[in-house]
Amino acid sequence: MAVDLHLLDLDAIARRENARHRSGRWKFLVAIVFSLVWVLPFYFLAISIFKSNTEYALNPPLSLPSGLSPIVENMRQAWELGNMGQSMFNSAIYGTFGAALAVFFAAMAAFAITRIDIPWRNGWFMLIFAGTVFPFQMYLIPLFFGYQKLGLLNSHAGMLLFYTAICVPFPTLVLRNFMSGLSREMDEAARMDGAGEFTVFFRIVLPNTTGPMIAVFLLQFTWIWNDMLFSTVLGNRLETRSIMNALLVFQGSYSSIGPNVVLTAALLASVPSLVLFFLLRKYFMQGLRVQQA
């Protein structure tokens, strides 16, 4: 009887193992399907930029290109017809200076909230962070009419002012959490030696916050670079148009030249943010590790 029970146990274990293997195979197949669906748009982009207008129109969309040379003409048309040079310059100005100023102001705010004994510190933080609680779309109409009255509509200064202000709350949250974990003994020792608050901030706290500041700078730069909503409403003229706004206009105005040229323009527009990420990825990962710690 004991032998029969033992055999039954082995049979149950075998059935469970078979069911587990079958479940694992189905999960693997589902993962492959989802991976193919995820990769398909990138494959379509990768092959379309190497096709001429004629080849794109006559062949199936997912067919391989006959050569690599058409990408040069596609890039030339996208750059010239889409006015990408001016738009990339505008987005670089907005992203670089807007994100840098926002992170710097956020660092100052986080320093005051966490390292200085000011009244209502949590209240000041909640006031700063309240800008991210509401949907950004609700700011559009007040911003448009306010900028119109102040003469900031369709101006570089107006766009830079907006991007700096809108990007302050999130870095404040990140830097506040990081600075609150730093030891305050160095601050107190510097103050006992006669150092002022600005000296403590610039010479002690700021050098120890480089990693998180670069991490949030990259995130805010990417958001500004990819923003199309506010740039369309606040800076729609040619001289102030951002790269995403330019792509939107290019897609509508020059759709007759072929989707392959529009896709090439989209690829060119994504290059600067990718290059910046790879240049600063070491500091970005350091900032993430510090926050996780």
Specify the CATH number for the domain of residue 286.
1.10.3720.10
Do 98 and 223 belong together in one domain?
yes
Q: List all residues 6 or more positions away from 111 whose beta carbon is below 8 Å from its beta carbon.
A: 179, 201, 205
Tell me the per-residue pLDDT of 147-206, one tens digit each, with 9 for 90 and over: 999 999 999 999 999 999 999 999 998 898 888 887 777 777 878 877 788 888 888 888
Question: With pLDDT > 70 as the criterion, what percentage of the chain qualifies?
Answer: 87
Say how many domains are in the chain.
2
Quote the pTM value. Answer: 0.82
Structure tokens of 281? 């990825």
The per-residue pLDDT for 292 is 45
Do 84 and 99 belong together in one domain?
yes
Structure tokens of 282? 């070491």
Do 265 and 208 belong together in one domain?
yes
Domain extent, residue 62, equals 2-71
Residues 225 and 95: their CA atoms lie apart, in Å, by 6
Residues 154 and 19: their CA atoms lie apart, in Å, by 63
CA dihedral 77, 80, 84, 89 (to 10 degrees): 150
Do 61 and 127 belong together in one domain?
no
Do 57 and 104 belong together in one domain?
no
Do 45 and 84 belong together in one domain?
no
Do 191 and 78 belong together in one domain?
yes
Do 16 and 132 belong together in one domain?
no
Do 27 and 131 belong together in one domain?
no
Tell me the per-residue pLDDT of 103-126, one tens digit each, with 9 for 90 and over: 999 999 999 888 887 788 788 888
Q: List all residues 6 or more positions away from 199 whose beta carbon is below 8 Å from its beta carbon.
A: 190
Tell me the per-residue pLDDT of 178-194, one tens digit each, with 9 for 90 and over: 888 877 777 778 788 77
Write the DSSP assignment of 110-152 as a string of letters.
HHHHHHS--TTHHHHHHHHHGGGTS-GGGGHHHHHHHHHHHT-
Do 62 and 140 belong together in one domain?
no
